[in-house]
């Protein structure tokens, strides 16, 4: 079906919709060709390249705020795949002046004669005050939270913010359906509001999450309110005579930083919330467990780092740690490691920002930048040595994005980088990802030639489960076990056990933390193919890697 043929019907659909959609921005998408027609007022207001746009999905998603892009993409994909009957979502979009405005998007699918989705028809409205209210619970929504936290920071020295989330809710929808689930959400909202409204404003956030902004600086009182909400959500929710027991987790943060954007505060709150859920059995968890200068400094750093990602990853750079053949001590690859520095905050180590930034939607853009830069930097090594491999670390938050696979393949095709020379490292934290998603990601990319490594093997309780279920190529033994393997019988047994099991499984082992000649010589008795550690090199800039190892590569 050609685009020219489709344009006749597309034009009729568009004109009909435009007549009935006053004060809205209108578009119609031909799904087969990803071909959009936009109303003239939308072209002008959002600064679009024209009324008729090919590859329109990607172009519009570039206008969606980075924090909202994943949620928007999922909502749009769900309706295309018929997982959802309608497109109904609030998000922020960039206008022609570069400002992000809150929009409400509504749309539906038109099917062809064979019952297949053919067109997506939608309108966009800029939100008024009513658009900042969650229609299900009547509470203020995420965008009101951002606006109110900004206003509160300007008017007040300090305030507490809390993020509360319910888990176990997916089973409610699966068993009773979405209509019943919505009624449960309403009951949850009532409890949260009753427990916290006397302390401040309550908000419905993304999914089954709620927030509170409180000028009451007594954390003990807020703790009492949280405990009451947790107890009631666990025991008191009943719908149609059915008691629905749910678990509440919560993170909180004392806000006293000028110049920190609300999105950074939300990132910190999400980190505290997930710490409560995954590590603290639902206890109310303060961000960083501190409220003094250290907390302010960390928040300020995260704000600056987050802004750096949004503005083209300024301040980020990569260092490369060589990976050495254990027998020949020749360079066989390198691991790309992210770093950040600027004039105000100086150097900030990755372990001080990556765990927090992983909870932020902007982390996905940083991950793409890391992959692209690592491939660009090491392509000359691959041309000199077809066996050379660059290792790039992945986060579970990257792999759970629906566009991850296509983005990896696009970068490989764009750069001409051979897939077999890329090794993606996944960590024990990937247990947080649905195993089916993880498995599908690995299987697809391996089918294209990409290699996979399990990093920090042995440090987490799910390492063996990942090894059993995920078809990786390399196991990297964490330096925690390597450093003292020569003298510590427990570490020695772990290194021996891992290396022999992995070797029998037909995989190969890389030992991290090889820092002395004695450790190197000791490890050579085991089937360990690669070494990585300060004995050979610390992480170094790409220019240093080229100057030190490039000549050796070209003379092999």
Quick one: what percent of the chain has pLDDT higher than 90? 37
Q: Of 3.40.50.300, 3.30.450.20, 3.40.50.1980, 3.10.620.30, which CATH number belongs to 3-127?
A: 3.30.450.20
pLDDT tens for 508-547 read 899 999 999 999 999 999 999 999 999 999 999 999 999 9
Find out whether 402 and 73 touch, Cβ atoms under 8 Å: yes
Number of H helices, E strands in the chain: 20, 22
Find out whether 421 and 389 touch, Cβ atoms under 8 Å: yes
Classify domain 303-554 by CATH architecture: Alpha-Beta Barrel (3.20)
CA distance 250 to 140: 19
Q: Which residue has the higher pLDDT, 131 or 89?
A: 89
State yes or no: pLDDT of 189 exceeds 90. Answer: yes
Q: For 106-133, what is the mean pLDDT?
A: 78
Question: What is the chain's Cα-based Rg?
Answer: 26
DSSP 427: -
Find out whether 356 and 395 touch, Cβ atoms under 8 Å: no
Determine the pLDDT at residue 1: 36
Find out whether 367 and 394 touch, Cβ atoms under 8 Å: yes
Q: For 490-496, what is the mean pLDDT?
A: 87
pLDDT tens for 33-53 read 888 888 888 888 899 998 888
The answer to which of 120-124, 161-165, 286-290 has the lowest mean pLDDT is: 286-290
Q: How many CB atoms lie within 10 A of CB 416?
A: 10
What average pLDDT does the structure give for the chain?
85
Exposed / middle / buried, residue 346 (Cβ in 10 Å: 0-12, 13-18, 19+): exposed
For 496, phi and psi rounded to 5 degrees?
-65, -45
CA distance 201 to 215: 10
For the chain, give every domain's residue range: 3-127, 142-291, 303-554
Give the Å distances, CA to CA, from 2 to 33, 34, 72, 159, 249: 8, 12, 28, 58, 52
Determine the pLDDT at residue 414: 94
β-pairing verdict for 159-167 and 389-393: unpaired
CATH superfamily of 142-291: Reverse transcriptase/Diguanylate cyclase domain (3.30.70.270)
Using DSSP, state whether 157 is helix, strand or coil.
coil
SS (H, E, C) 459-503: CCCCHHHHHHHCCCCEEEECHHHHCCCCCCHHHHHHHHHHHHHHH
């Amino acid at each position: 079906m050609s685009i020219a043929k489709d344009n006749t019907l597309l034009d009729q659909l568009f004109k009909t919709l435009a007549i009935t959609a006053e004060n809205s921005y209108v578009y119609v998408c031909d799904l087969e060709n990803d071909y959009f027609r936009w109303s003239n007022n939308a072209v002008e207001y959002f600064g679009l390249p024209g009324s008729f746009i090919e590859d329109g999905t990607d172009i519009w998603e570039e206008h969606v705020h980075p924090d909202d892009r994943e949620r928007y993409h999922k909502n749009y994909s769900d309706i295309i795949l018929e997982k959802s009957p309608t497109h109904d979502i609030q998000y922020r979009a960039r206008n022609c002046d570069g400002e992000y405005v809150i929009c409400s998007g509504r749309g539906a699918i038109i099917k062809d004669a064979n019952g297949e989705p053919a067109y997506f028809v939608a309108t966009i409205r800029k939100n008024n005050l009513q658009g900042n209210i969650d229609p299900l619970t009547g509470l203020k929504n995420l965008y009101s939270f951002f606006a109110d936290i900004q206003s509160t920071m300007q008017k007040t020295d300090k305030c507490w913010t809390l993020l509360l989330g319910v888990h176990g809710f997916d089973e409610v929808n699966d068993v009773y359906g979405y209509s019943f689930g919505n009624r449960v959400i309403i009951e949850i909202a009532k409890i949260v509001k009753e427990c916290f409204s006397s302390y401040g404003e309550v908000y419905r956030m993304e999914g089954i999450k709620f927030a509170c902004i409180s000028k009451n600086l007594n954390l003990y009182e807020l703790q009492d309110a949280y405990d009451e909400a947790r107890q009631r959500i666990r025991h008191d929710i009943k719908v149609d005579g059915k008691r629905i027991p749910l678990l509440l987790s919560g993170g909180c943060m004392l806000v006293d930083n000028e110049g920190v954007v609300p999105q950074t505060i939300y990132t910190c709150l999400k980190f505290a919330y997930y710490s409560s859920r995954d590590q603290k059995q639902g206890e109310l968890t303060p961000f960083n467990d501190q409220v003094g200068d250290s907390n302010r400094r960390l928040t300020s750093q995260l704000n600056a780092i987050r802004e750096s990602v949004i503005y083209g990853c300024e301040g980020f750079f990569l260092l490369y740690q060589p990976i050495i053949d254990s027998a020949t001590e020749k360079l066989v690859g390198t691991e790309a490691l992210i770093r950040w520095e600027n004039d105000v905050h100086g150097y900030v180590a990755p372990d001080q920002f990556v765990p927090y930034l992983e909870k932020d939607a902007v982390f996905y853009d940083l991950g793409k930048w890391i992959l692209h830069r690592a491939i660009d930097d090491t392509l000359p090594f691959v041309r000199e040595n077809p066996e050379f491999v660059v290792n790039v670390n992945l986060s579970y938050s990257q792999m759970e994005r629906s566009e991850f696979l296509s983005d990896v393949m696009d970068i490989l095709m764009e750069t001409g980088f051979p897939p077999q020379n890329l090794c993606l490292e996944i960590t024990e934290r990937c247990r947080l990802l649905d195993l089916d998603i993880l498995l599908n990601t690995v299987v697809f990319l391996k089918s294209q030639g990409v290699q996979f490594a399990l990093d920090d093997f042995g440090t987490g309780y799910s390492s063996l489960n990942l090894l059993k279920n995920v078809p990786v190529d390399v196991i990297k033994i964490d330096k925690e076990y390597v450093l003292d393997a020569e003298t510590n019988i427990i570490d020695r047994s772990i290194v021996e056990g891992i290396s022999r099991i992995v070797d029998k499984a037909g995989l190969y082992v890389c030992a991290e933390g090889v820092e002395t000649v004695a450790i190197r010589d000791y490890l050579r008795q085991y089937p360990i193919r690669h070494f990585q550690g300060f004995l050979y090199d610390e992480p170094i800039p790409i220019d240093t890697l080229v100057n030190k190892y490039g000549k050796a590569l070209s003379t092999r």
